[in-house]
Amino acid sequence: MRPNENAINCDNKKVLGKRILMFLLICLPITWLLMAVSYKLTAEGKLEGLATFLLSLSVFMPAIAGVICVLKNKEGIGTLKLLPGLYKTGWVYLIAIFGGAALSLMAEPFVM
C-alpha cells in the first residue's frame, strides 16, 4: 500500500497547520481529562486499578490521536511510521536498550 503523496509532501502551510491543530485538539484535552480523572481517583483512594488504566491510556493518547487524524484525513497508515526501521537504524535501538542498562549499572556505586 503506497501512502498518499499529499500526506508526505505537505508543502501547503495552511493544510499542515490544520492537521497539527486537529491533532492537538484531539490529543491535549483528552489527555488532560484522563490524567485529571486518574489523579482524582488516586487522591481519593478509590478505584486504583481504573486510575492506573486511565493514566496508561493518557500516555498512549498522542499515538491514538495520530491514528485518528490519519484515518480522518484518509491518508495511508504508512505515513505514521509506526514500525521502526530496524534495518538502517538498528544500532540506535541497541544503544537505547543497552545504554540504559549500562547507565544504571554505572550509577549503582553512587546510590549505595
Residues 8-34 have a mean pLDDT of: 79
Q: Identify which has the larger pLDDT, 26 or 6.
A: 26
Condensed to tens digits (0 to 9), the pLDDT of residues 43-63 reads 777 778 888 888 888 888 888
Residues 15-43 have a mean pLDDT of: 85
* pLDDT-above-90 percentage for the chain: 1
DSSP the chain: -PPPHHHHS---HHHHHHHHHHHHHHHHHHHHHHHHHHHHHHHHT--HHHHHHHHHHHHTHHHHHHHHHHHHTT--GGGG--S--HHHHHHHHHHHHHHHHHHHHHHHHHH-
pLDDT at residue 11 in the model: 58
